[in-house]
Amino acid sequence: MTIYFYNTCEQPYGCFSNFSYHGFELDGFWWLTNEHYFQAQKFGETDPVWFTKIREIKTPKEAAKMGNSRSHPLRTDWNNVKDEIMEKGVLQKFTTHTEIGELLIATGSELIVENSPIDYYWGCGKDGSGQNKLGQIIMKVREKLRNN
């Protein structure tokens, strides 16, 4: 059975969303959500002020909007490092919050899919043809948790 998630309201797997309020400490900062962490990483080297504003914004929706703004320069290596950065944040989130780490392990070997109707990179997209990179990363983290 494939496990689909998209928003934080979907139970029990809403916690798989980057918008879930499962904060963690990483790289010397507290991150309210993984979305905050991921979006801020786009700007740390090129625009430290924007990085801080994203880190401190109140909601993951606002963090996503700010991170997707192209009025600030992205770090030049972003396309090469974004998957690694996402995995780092996802791993920290699931190791910090053992209850969701255990839920993730309990999914066994099921396929996990971010059921985003608009994102064809991180999610499956409206027609299911997306790359589902977030789902793939979550499954990779599941294996790491299982092996520890």
pLDDT of residue 45: 84
Q: Which residues contact 48 (CB under 8 A, 6 or more apart)?
A: none
pLDDT of residue 44: 85
pLDDT of residue 16: 98
Q: Does the domain formed by 3-147 have CATH 1.10.357.40?
A: yes
| pTM over the 0.85 mark | yes
Contact 100, 119 (CB under 8 A): no
What 3 state SS string does 73-125 have? CCCCCHHHHHHHHHHHHHHHHHHHCHHHHHHHHCCCCCCEEECCCCCCCCCCC
pLDDT of residue 22: 98
pLDDT of residue 24: 98
Q: Give per-residue pLDDT as tens, 78-109.
A: 999 999 999 999 999 999 999 999 999 999 99
Instruction: Copy the structure tokens of residue 40.
Output: 């801020």
Would you list the domain boundaries of the chain?
A: 3-147
pLDDT of residue 59: 98
User: C-alpha angle 8/19/65, rounded to 5°?
Assistant: 130
Instruction: Copy the structure tokens of residue 31.
Output: 């991150």
How many Cα atoms occupy the beta-carbon half-sphere of 94 within 13 Å? 27
| Antiparallel, parallel or unpaired: β 3-5 and 112-114 | parallel
Q: Give per-residue pLDDT as tens, 134-145.
A: 999 999 999 999
Q: Give per-residue pLDDT as tens, 40-82.
A: 999 988 999 999 999 999 999 999 999 999 999 999 999 999 9
pLDDT of residue 120: 98
Instruction: Copy the structure tokens of residue 64.
Output: 């996503």
pLDDT of residue 102: 98
